[in-house]
């Protein structure tokens, strides 16, 4: 462990949210750079720090601080230096000199014990004296809290979060129930709170521990895509987490239900199964089902008018020919308040959407188009010739998320996210069309339905065979599976699409037909390779030499898709390899190494979490256009030329995107796609995963690996099931309506 003490000459960078800072410290006549978490530190203060010196490739030697202490100035010269640094607002160099001249070596005691006496100094009013005293007290209280929290092994950055949330209540709260921090703070999980509780002497079978564990397990389940857990599975997971048999669990669950934290429900067809929901997910499922039934209004008149409108449209639009299924879908869209359109690639979903748009436009209707991601919205705009927005932009999102609103670790917050378009301020539209519905999770769908105006038509379009949403729920499949709502299933593959082996083979996957990987094809190729190194070398040749000219696209626009993050053929392993080939170092080309990656101007980057303040969302891809070492920022140019600036402390929201997971590719389309096919966890080698990857390619898809692994993926229909109750809620409403009638 290295140590250093000295005066903070300059704060070169500070992140106000997490306290991360870069300090210039003068010690023994030399300047040093310190990096770490320094809550409320000020220039002019005397710091004693411990950590490890490290050599940064750009900034040279710096001390990565692990622990530190702010020392009280011990003489009048040090006090004057501290006050004149600007550490105390309202006190400049001249005023600091007068204060020290007046009180000499007693200055610090006066500041802390008799601050009203500062008014004796010329230029200081009683009000300013009390403001100065308040600042000094605040700094002292923070340092006291940091010392208290560090005594329980709490890291500095977490200690800052805890103190900012609870203030002076932190002492009582942690002694009474340390698990509160897992409930209240984003980025703090059960294990962190459990370790703190253990150090504070909380018993392993304490009720507060088990209660916190129940909520934590359910929040983890939400991260996995579930809306609830069966009580039996919840019990299993609790045993594994707590390493004990939780006693009186049923009563504890009932208590949490009384507190409106949980909801317990019997499964519709199994009285023995109890479903355990976080209360907000139970409410959302119920509310979504109710709103959908309100939208599901089917007109019994006007059928002839709609048919005449469609016939006129087909006559006027050269080349517009609809099959019977598409015609029924268009008529249903016009005559129904709600319609779901689903189908695989090449089945005419875009043609159907365009016909629906033209029918509504002919009636003078106001139409809004949206999709879950920026890339999906851009594809929709290109396909329809009309502006499409992301659903977030459509709903006019505001707010600054910090957790999930439920206190679970590492999740995006909905507690501070607000949509300006809602029930009180609905969208102004007669028809709303949402594409790529398979990507829409329960939360976002709930927000969308709240904003649909009375009397508007809602049309939901998607491919139910694709991967489900990243967030909780399985909305599109649940809507279809309920058999309670109007669904138009498009199945016919059109002639032009039928000429593409991408389309044909995608349908063969879902129809369980054998795909001939040895067939000569212009757009669906399989290259045999038996080793990871062979896959990588083949991949590099394709992306850098063969495919750009073949598909008429830049090498960076060709996307490598892989099922996994780790390993030689995962995102983490492949991205540096592709970066070295597609964007090597160059004279004058700025680069910066961060803990998780090295970024270089010209790199292809992906946003990996929603950031409502910046207006960028999980899955957005852009090019790194600038790295500014002076301001410690980098700039990324996203679609439509929109530039977004990030502080160096915020770059964990970005990662290299030459290779991305198949999950992250949903809603996107690329000129060409390269997919390594290899052995791995069975849960990540499923039919809908490879189906989603293949259907991302517009002109050409190349799979590299062993054919046996490809056939195993196509045969593996055992998806990771999701516990969702939306389909059941819709059926229950239908049954209730039937009983009333």
State how far the Cα of 321 lies from the Cα of 317, in Å rounded to an integer: 9
**Pairing mode, strands 270-278 and 262-267:** antiparallel
DSSP state of 425: S
Give the DSSP H or E segment for 262. strand 262-267
647 is an annotated ligand-binding site residue: no
Q: Where does 559-696 show beta strands of DSSP type E?
A: 559-562, 591-594, 597-600, 604-607, 621-628, 633-637, 643-647, 654-656, 659-661, 670-677
State how far the Cα of 498 lies from the Cα of 494, in Å rounded to an integer: 6
724 is an annotated ligand-binding site residue: no
Question: 471-493 as b/e, with b when 16 or more CB fall inside 10 Å?
Answer: bbbbbbbbbbbbebbbbbebeeb
349 is an annotated ligand-binding site residue: yes
Q: Could you give the angle at the alpha carbon of 702 between the alpha carbons of 700 and 704, nearest 5°?
A: 180
By the 10 Å C-beta count (0-12 exposed, 13-18 middle, 19+ buried), 719 is classed as: middle
410 is an annotated ligand-binding site residue: no
Return the structure tokens found at 684.
């990540």
Within 8 A by CB and 6+ apart from 283, the residues are none
Nearest one of 140, 135, 14 to 86, comparing CA atoms: 135
Return the structure tokens found at 707.
């054919």
Q: Could you give the angle at the alpha carbon of 637 between the alpha carbons of 635 and 638, nearest 5°?
A: 130
635 is an annotated ligand-binding site residue: no
Nearest one of 26, 29, 48, 28 to 38, comparing CA atoms: 48
Backbone φ, ψ for residue 82 (5° rounding): -65, -50
In DSSP terms, 368 is beta-bridged to: 432
State how far the Cα of 577 lies from the Cα of 265, in Å rounded to an integer: 50
Q: Point out the annotated binding site.
A: 346-350
Binding residue numbers for ATP: 346-350
């Amino acid at each position: 462990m290295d140590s250093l003490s000295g005066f903070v000459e300059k704060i070169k960078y500070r992140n106000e949210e997490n306290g991360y800072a870069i300090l210039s410290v003068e010690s023994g006549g030399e300047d040093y750079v310190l990096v770490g978490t320094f809550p409320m530190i000020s220039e002019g203060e005397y710091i004693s720090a411990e950590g490890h010196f490290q050599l940064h490739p750009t900034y040279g030697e710096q001390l990565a601080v692990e622990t530190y202490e702010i020392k009280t100035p011990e003489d009048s010269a040090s006090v004057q230096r501290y006050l004149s640094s600007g550490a105390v607002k309202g006190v400049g160099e001249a005023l600091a000199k007068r204060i020290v001249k007046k009180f000499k070596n007693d200055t610090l005691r006066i500041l802390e014990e008799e601050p009203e006496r500062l008014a004796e100094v010329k230029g200081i009013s009683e009000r300013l004296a009390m403001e100065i005293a308040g600042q000094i007290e605040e700094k002292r209280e923070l340092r006291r809290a940091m010392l208290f929290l560090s005594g329980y092994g709490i890291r500095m950055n977490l200690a800052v979060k805890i103190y900012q949330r609870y203030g002076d209540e932190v002492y009582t709260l942690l002694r009474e129930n340390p698990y509160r921090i897992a409930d209240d703070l984003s980025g703090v999980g059960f294990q962190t709170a459990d370790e703190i509780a253990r150090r504070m002497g909380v018993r392993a079978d304490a009720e507060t521990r088990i209660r916190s564990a129940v909520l934590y397990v359910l929040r983890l389940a939400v991260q996995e895509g579930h809306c609830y857990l069966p009580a039996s599975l919840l019990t299993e997971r609790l045993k594994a987490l707590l390493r004990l048999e939780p006693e009186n669990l049923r009563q504890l669950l009932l208590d949490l239900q009384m507190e409106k934290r949980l909801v317990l429900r019997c499964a519709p067809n199994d009285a023995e199964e109890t479903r355990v929901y976080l209360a907000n997910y139970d409410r959302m499922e119920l509310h979504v089902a109710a709103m959908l039934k309100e939208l599901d209004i089917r007109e019994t008149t006007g059928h002839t008018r709609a048919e005449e409108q469609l016939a006129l449209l087909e006559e006027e639009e050269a080349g517009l020919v609809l099959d019977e299924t598409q015609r029924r879908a268009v008529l249903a869209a016009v005559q129904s308040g709600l319609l779901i359109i689903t189908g695989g690639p090449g089945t005419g979903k875009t043609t159907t959407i365009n016909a629906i748009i033209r029918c509504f436009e002919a009636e003078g209707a106001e139409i809004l188009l949206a999709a879950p991601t920026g890339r999906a919205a851009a594809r929709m705009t290109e396909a329809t010739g009309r502006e499409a927005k992301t659903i977030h932009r459509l709903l006019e999102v505001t707010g600054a998320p910090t957790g999930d609103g439920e206190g679970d670790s590492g999740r995006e917050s909905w507690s501070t996210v607000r949509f300006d378009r809602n029930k009180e301020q609905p969208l102004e539209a007669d028809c709303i069309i949402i594409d790529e519905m398979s990507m829409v999770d329960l939360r976002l769908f709930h927000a969308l339905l709240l904003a649909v105006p009375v009397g508007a038509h809602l049309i939901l379009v998607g491919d139910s065979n694709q991967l489900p949403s990243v967030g909780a729920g399985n909305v599109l499949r649940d809507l279809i599976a309920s058999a309670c709502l109007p669904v138009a299933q498009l199945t016919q593959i059109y002639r032009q699409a039928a000429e593409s082996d991408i389309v044909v083979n995608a349908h063969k996957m879902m129809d369980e037909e054998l795909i001939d990987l040895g067939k000569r094809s212009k757009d669906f190729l399989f290259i045999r390779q038996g080793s990871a190194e062979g896959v990588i070398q083949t991949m590099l040749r394709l992306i850098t030499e063969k495919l750009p000219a073949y598909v008429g696209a830049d090498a960076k626009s060709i996307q490598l898709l892989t099922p996994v993050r780790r390993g030689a053929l995962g995102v983490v392993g492949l991205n540096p390899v592709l970066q070295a080939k597609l964007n090597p170092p160059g004279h004058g080309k700025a680069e910066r190494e961060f803990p998780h990656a090295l970024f270089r101007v010209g790199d292809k980057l992906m946003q990996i979490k929603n950031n409502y303040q910046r207006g960028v969302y999980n899955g957005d891809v852009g090019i790194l256009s600038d790295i500014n070492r002076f301001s410690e920022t980098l700039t990324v140019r996203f679609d439509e030329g929109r530039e977004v600036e990030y502080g160096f402390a915020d770059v964990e929201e970005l990662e290299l995107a030459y290779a991305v997971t198949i999950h992250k590719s949903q809603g996107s389309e690329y000129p060409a796609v390269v997919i390594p096919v290899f052995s791995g966890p069975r849960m990540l080698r499923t039919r809908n995963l490879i189906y989603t990857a293949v259907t991302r390619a517009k002109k050409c898809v190349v799979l590299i690996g062993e054919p046996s692994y490809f056939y195993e993926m196509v045969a593996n229909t055992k998806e990771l099931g999701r516990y969702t109750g939306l389909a059941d809620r819709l059926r229950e409403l239908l049954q209730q309506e039937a009983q009333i009638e």
